[in-house]
Amino acid sequence: MATLQKTLKASTGATAHSQRLINAVVVSAGLMDKTVKVRIGTQKWNAHIRKNFNKTAHLLVHDPRSSLRTGDVVAITPGWRASKHVHHVVDHIIAPFGEPIDARPAVMSEAERVAEREAQRAAKVERRRLRDLERGGERDVRVERGSEDLLDGGVVEEAGGEVLSRAERDRREHAEKVLAREERRARVAALKAAGGQEGAEVDEDAGTLKKVEDAFEKKRIESEEGKTGEEAPKQEKKKGWFSL
């Protein structure tokens, strides 16, 4: 008997807490498109008296079919982001005020909301695909995460007719950039080893390597001038200063 009671309690608790519901009162409706303002009851802890006091708060709630009226007692659920400041959605009407429920548009269920959002997302991806085809067959790489399967599995056709996945194309571009960077470093290292001598032939990045060559030549000249004429007076001055 005790085991049966624990099982029933666990099952009912999981059902009740599978979706968090908050009771609220609509204080403003009809002023915003598919959005109402509601008042909820909360509690605030007073650290001095060490007691919770009742407090009210206001939230913006998404109403997909404009089913709510001012004064309705409704149940809302969090976790449905409709805009920057709207993170709650109406779940059902507990007690209507004024106009009866039968005369209003029906409140959307969670399954209907999810199906509508997926349909809107699929339509958006299809519009983007058609727009990219009109531009010349190019595909936009700014695809939403999780929507690559809607665009032919994320397949991209290159200019040469080769069909690659987006990941493979990105890997090839990265490998080409790394190879070009290593070649530039090797040429600069060879120029440094040559000591800035004339006649060093460079196929690419001639301007950059010429600047490096000039910098090494200037540094070599300055070092030679410092050894011949500038270091002796400095040493004498330093020696004279220590003699004081």
Question: Which pLDDT value is given to residue 158?
Answer: 57
Spatial contact of 38 and 25, defined as CB atoms under 8 Å apart: yes
- DSSP notation for 118-185: HHHHHHHHHHHHHHHHHTTS---S-PPTT-GGGSGGGEEE-TTS-EEEHHHHHHHHHHHHHHHHHHHH
3-state secondary structure of 99: coil
- The whole model's pTM is what? 0.50
Closest CA to 93 of 103, 82, 107: 107
Per-residue pLDDT of the chain (244 residues; tens, 9 = 90+): 444 444 444 444 444 444 789 999 999 999 999 999 999 999 999 999 999 999 999 999 999 999 999 999 999 999 999 999 999 999 999 999 999 999 999 999 999 999 999 999 999 999 988 888 887 655 544 444 444 444 444 555 555 666 666 777 777 888 888 888 888 888 777 777 776 544 444 444 555 666 666 776 777 777 666 655 544 455 555 555 555 4
Degrees (nearest 5) of the Cα angle 167, 172, 178?
A: 125
pLDDT for residue 12 = 43
pLDDT of residue 173: 83
The pLDDT value given to residue 123: 93
Residue 146: per-residue pLDDT: 45
